[in-house]
Amino acid sequence: MVTRNLSRRQVDLEIITEWVEPESRVLDLGCGRGVLLQNLRDEKSIYGVGVDTDPIKINGCIKRGVNAYQGDIEDILKEFPDNSFDVVICSRTVQELINPANIIFEALRVGRAVAIGFVNHGYWMNRLSMVFKGNRIVNDVYPQQWYESSPENPITVNEFELFCKQHQITIKRRVYLAGDWDTKLTFLPNLLSGYALYEIAR
């Protein structure tokens, strides 16, 4: 299961690395141990800054020589002038935020573009679990039971795209991955994609 999670992480990382221009300035919100920023530095010579609240994850960044800020995402975003970064990354972070809209708007102010990836709650397996078992799904992606997980705002592809439309946010690129988080698909993404990744901008 560990390898499977790692390979899933890898998919996200590969697509974002492909999107980021060489030598850009990148801010990674919810950077974890800094694996993505390290990869971007090694492959694309970027200047990167990660943000995370967990000191153990910050320590992982320090080990990798990745710049990191231990603290609140909303607080640090306020400190940066408009367009300070070429890309702000929000990979599997947005569902854990309180009032994510504000953070998306701030990320769009601080960055010229925002790369945002999330697990699609509209994925058919997630629906089936609710419909047939009456239970919230517990699997590789959602390994924790409700009583041990952090509060989360489940997002679906449809809801996110509607949000962008309502707020005049341009979707510049999008990638839907199937339930295996590997195969790219374009057909019925809200139903069939397990993971969605967007590049958005104002």
Partner 1 sequence: MTETQIESTTDNPPEDIGLVKYDDFVTPDTFTFENGGSIPGFTLRYETYGRLNDEKSNAILICHPISGDHHCAGKYSDDDRKSGWWNNMIGPGKAIDTNRFYVICSNCLGGCQGSTGPSFIDPQSGKPYGLNFPSLTIRDIVRAQNQLIEHLQLDELYAVVGGSMGGMQVLQWVIEYPDKVKRILSLASAARQSAQAIAFNEVGRCAIVQDPGWEEGNYAPEKGPNVGLSVARMMAHITYLSDKGMEIKFGRSRRNDSEGHHLTKVEFEVEGYLRHQGQSFTNRFDANTYLYFSKAIDRFDLHGETGKLEDVFSKVQARTLVIGFTSDWLYAPRQNREIVIALLRCGKNATYAEVDMDLGHDSFLIDAPELYDFVRSFLND
Among candidate residues 20, 23, 12, the one with its CA nearest the CA of residue 175 = 12
Q: Does 141 bind partner 1 (CB under 8 A)?
A: no
Residue 85 or 176 with smaller CB distance to partner 1: 85
Q: Does 45 bind partner 1 (CB under 8 A)?
A: no
User: In the structure encoding, which two tokens stand for residue 86, read together?
Assistant: 């070429």
Give the footprint of partner 1 on residues 53-72 (CB under 8 A). Answer: 55-56, 58-65, 67-71
CB of 14 closer than 8 Å to CB of 67: no
Q: Which of 8, 33, 92, 121 binds partner 1 (CB under 8 A)?
A: 33
Residue 32 or 122 with smaller CB distance to partner 1: 32
User: In the structure encoding, which two tokens stand for residue 95, read together?
Assistant: 């569902």
Q: Does 79 bind partner 1 (CB under 8 A)?
A: yes
Q: Does 76 bind partner 1 (CB under 8 A)?
A: yes
Residue type, 164: C
Q: Does 109 bind partner 1 (CB under 8 A)?
A: no
Residue 81 or 151 with smaller CB distance to partner 1: 81
Buried-exposed string 113-139: b where 16+ CB fall within 10 A, e elsewhere: bbbbbbbbbbbbebeebeeeeeeebee
Q: Does 87 bind partner 1 (CB under 8 A)?
A: no
Minimum Å distance from CB 194 to partner 1?
27
Q: Report the number of secondary-structure helices (H) and strands (E) in the chain.
A: 8, 8
Q: Does 121 bind partner 1 (CB under 8 A)?
A: no
Minimum Å distance from CB 9 to partner 1?
15
Minimum Å distance from CB 52 to partner 1?
10
Q: Quick one: residue 22, left, alpha or beta (phi over 0 = left, psi -120 to 50 = alpha)? A: beta
Q: Does 111 bind partner 1 (CB under 8 A)?
A: no
Among candidate residues 109, 101, 116, the one with its CA nearest the CA of residue 80 = 109
Q: Does 29 bind partner 1 (CB under 8 A)?
A: no
Residue 38 or 190 with smaller CB distance to partner 1: 38
Q: Does 25 bind partner 1 (CB under 8 A)?
A: yes
Residue 10 or 153 with smaller CB distance to partner 1: 10
Question: What span, in angstroms and rounded, lies between the C-alpha atoms of 78 and 83?
Answer: 12
Question: What span, in angstroms and rounded, lies between the C-alpha atoms of 118 and 89?
Answer: 11
